[in-house]
């Protein structure tokens, strides 16, 4: 998928979507992110209840599928870190910037250590994970993140970051009570279900809840489309782990 084609898709307006104003009129305590989540159905449920997440939680996920998934996620995370870095510059206050910086510290330290130990345990050669070959699904997801970063402002950046992290929080907290035996399953769950991550995703949602209602209806629709496309790509990302293993 070319960058130009992805950019066009990323900013396409969902013409049949309800407006946030309509949503707010029918809810006592409307949250912009709740509206976005509803707009992304049924893909939201497909992502959070995906076969991959359930098998990982049960400890029954095939090692080849897990290895393929981690390879693509490792290839993807560099772009994701770049988008978070861009968000640091866009964040409105120093306290907000610090939230992003502290999260980036986790991703580039604890999470990176997890990847290296997991690749070793799954017998993935260093030359393979140090320069992973991206699938078309991964490339398309990366194109979406880049388009959101380059074509919009803080709201558009949040529109891809919020679902990317919130989806993981949703399924990981579901699986956290009975962790699987293999560390590359259980630690991946814990990285997305610990108190720090719960607090960060809550804060990230609040950022978008604050800025979203201030946008024009047209820009709200663009944000909704970016959110929806991110959720759709997450589904495709899980699917691709099975297809490529």
Give dist(CA 180, CA 195) in Å, integer.
19
Q: Report residue 106 as tokens.
A: 């986790």
**This prediction's pTM:** 0.88
Q: pLDDT-based confidence at 16, cuts 50/70/90?
A: very low
Q: Identify whether the C-beta of residue 168 lies closer than 8 Å to the C-beta of residue 234.
A: no
Alpha-carbon dihedral 201, 202, 207, 209, rounded to 10 degrees:
120
Which of helix, strand or coil describes residue 91? coil
Average the pLDDT over each of 71-80, 179-188, 208-217 and give the range with the smallest value.
71-80
**What's the pLDDT score for residue 245?**
60
Q: What is the mean pLDDT of the chain?
A: 89
Upstream peptide bond of 42 is cis (omega within 30 degrees of 0): yes
Class of domain 60-244: mainly alpha
Residue 244 has pLDDT above 80, yes or no: no
Please compute the mean of the pLDDT values over residues 91-111 and round it to a whole number.
90
């Amino acid at each position: 998928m070319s960058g130009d084609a992805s950019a066009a898709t990323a900013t396409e307006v969902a013409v049949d979507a309800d407006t946030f104003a309509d949503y707010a009129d029918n809810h006592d305590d409307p949250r912009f992110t709740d509206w976005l989540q509803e707009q992304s159905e049924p893909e939201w449920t497909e992502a959070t209840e995906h076969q991959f997440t359930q098998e990982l939680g049960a400890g029954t996920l095939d090692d080849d599928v897990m290895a393929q998934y981690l390879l693509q996620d490792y290839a993807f995370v560099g772009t994701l870190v770049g988008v978070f870095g861009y968000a640091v510059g866009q964040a409105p206050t120093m306290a907000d910037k610090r939230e992003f910086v502290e999260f980036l510290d986790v991703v580039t330290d604890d999470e990176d250590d997890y990847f290296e130990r997991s690749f070793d345990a799954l017998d993935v050669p260093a030359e393979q994970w140090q320069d992973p070959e991206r699938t078309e699904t991964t490339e398309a997801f990366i194109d979406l993140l880049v388009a959101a970063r380059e074509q919009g402002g803080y709201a558009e950046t949040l529109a891809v970051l919020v679902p990317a992290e919130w989806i993981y929080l949703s399924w990981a907290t579901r699986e956290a009570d009975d962790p699987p035996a293999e560390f590359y399953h259980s630690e991946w769950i814990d990285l997305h279900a610990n108190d720090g991550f719960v607090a960060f995703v809550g804060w990230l949602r609040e950022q978008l809840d604050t800025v979203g209602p201030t946008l024009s209806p047209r820009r709200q629709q663009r944000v909704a489309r970016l959110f929806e496309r991110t959720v759709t790509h997450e589904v495709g990302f899980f699917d691709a782990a099975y297809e490529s293993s």
